[in-house]
Amino acid sequence: MAPVNIQIGPLTFDRANYDAEGDVLYLSIGEPREAEGEETPEGHVLRFAPGTNEVVGLTIISPQHFLDRDGHLTITVPDKVEAGPEELAPALAAV
């Protein structure tokens, strides 16, 4: 995969491989690795590290088709929110 810097929503992908014949774009955060896929509402595949919510890749189906037809590409990616010990302390103390 070629090094890139592609921002899609809150995610930044640093590796890409485009299959022009099949019109499929493979994006990865770090080196491609084993992942579990979840289909987006648009039919793309968001890839997660096994057993986690950590996004490690995205497979975009027919990107050139959509860009040619619509001028843009719509992809639903989950928003990720993190809470640290400071934010959780009041809830943990309420036990």
Q: How far is CA 8 from the centre of its chain?
A: 8
Contact between residue 18 and residue 31 where contact means Cβ atoms under 8 Å apart: no
Find, among 62, 57, 59, 84, the residue nearest to 73 by Cα.
Answer: 62
User: Which pLDDT does position 85 carry in this prediction?
Assistant: 47
pLDDT band of 81, cuts 50, 70, 90: very low
Q: Determine the average pLDDT of the residues in 73-84.
A: 60
Q: What is the pLDDT of residues 4-53, one digit of tens each?
A: 788 888 888 888 888 889 988 888 999 999 999 999 888 999 999 999 98
Of 2 and 86, more confident: 2
Res 92 pLDDT > 50: no
Model pLDDT, residue 86: 55
Asked if residues 72 and 36 have their Cβ atoms less than 8 Å apart, the reply is no
Per-domain residue ranges of the chain: 2-93
Predicted TM-score of the model (pTM): 0.78
